[in-house]
């Protein structure tokens, strides 16, 4: 099924959704609890991504040896520009359109 958005905005395969998100803010969920929000600058067929103005959030869970309780640690940082290797990407969400 081909959805026609406009002459230059046709979606024929999944990678087309990535193309339509160029120069837009996207959400990227990666392996190991890493989440990124930033502006998509470039991509390739392996889903390697270049993002700018990135907000990175890393969530890790550790086990307290004494109590056996899970300790959740969240680390946030801002990055001007970052490269994301495609094999670590679990989800890429295009921006919401109003």
pTM of the model: 0.80
Number of domains in the chain: 1
Q: What CATH number does residue 41 fall under?
A: 2.30.30.100
Cα distances from 63 to residues 56, 67, 70, 71, in angstroms, run 23, 8, 5, 6
Q: Is residue 64 part of a domain?
A: yes
Residue 94 lies in a domain: no
Per-residue pLDDT of the chain (98 residues; tens, 9 = 90+): 444 445 467 788 888 889 999 999 999 999 999 999 999 999 999 999 999 999 999 999 999 888 889 999 999 999 999 999 999 999 999 877 65
Q: Is 21 domain-assigned?
A: yes
Domain holding 49, by residue range, is: 14-88
């Amino acid at each position: 099924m081909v959805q026609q958005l406009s002459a230059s905005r046709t979606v024929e395969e999944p990678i087309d959704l990535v193309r339509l998100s160029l120069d837009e803010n996207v959400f990227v969920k990666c392996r190991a609890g890493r989440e990124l929000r930033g502006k998509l600058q470039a991509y390739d067929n392996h889903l390697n991504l270049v993002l700018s103005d990135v907000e990175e959030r890393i969530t890790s869970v550790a086990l307290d040896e004494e109590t056996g309780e899970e300790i959740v640690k969240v680390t946030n940082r801002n990055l001007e520009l970052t490269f994301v290797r495609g094999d670590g990407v679990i989800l890429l969400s295009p921006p919401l359109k109003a």
